[in-house]
Amino acid sequence: MTLFEKIVARQVPANIVAEGQDWLAFHDISPQAPVHVLIVPKKPIPRIGEASPEDGHVLAALMLAVQEVVKKLDVFQSGFRVVINNGGDGGETVPHLHVHVLGGRPLEWPPG
């Protein structure tokens, strides 16, 4: 099991922000912005590059979860960034698809 699967199964504690039928959102343990939340699918999908057409409803649920999270954490109006890493060069560190939601400060571009 990946770390995120263990968090979804409540085997590892996390500071949970919100939860839906297909996803769980929690604060990142190493935040890169005042708001840094991870949204993970409850179904283990290793990475976005390995999602299948059958995962379409889960992918849509993740994107809609972003709206819920940013409104709840009061960064909807000020702005936020959504990031999905894929593979080592993309910055992926846990082989379980996850969406980073960052906000609460001006975010520079390019990100680095």
- Write out the catalytic residue numbers: 98
CB of 102 closer than 8 Å to CB of 32: yes
DSSP track, 25-92: EEE-SS-SSSEEEEEEESS--S-GGG--GGGHHHHHHHHHHHHHHHHHTT-TTT-EEEE---STTTT-
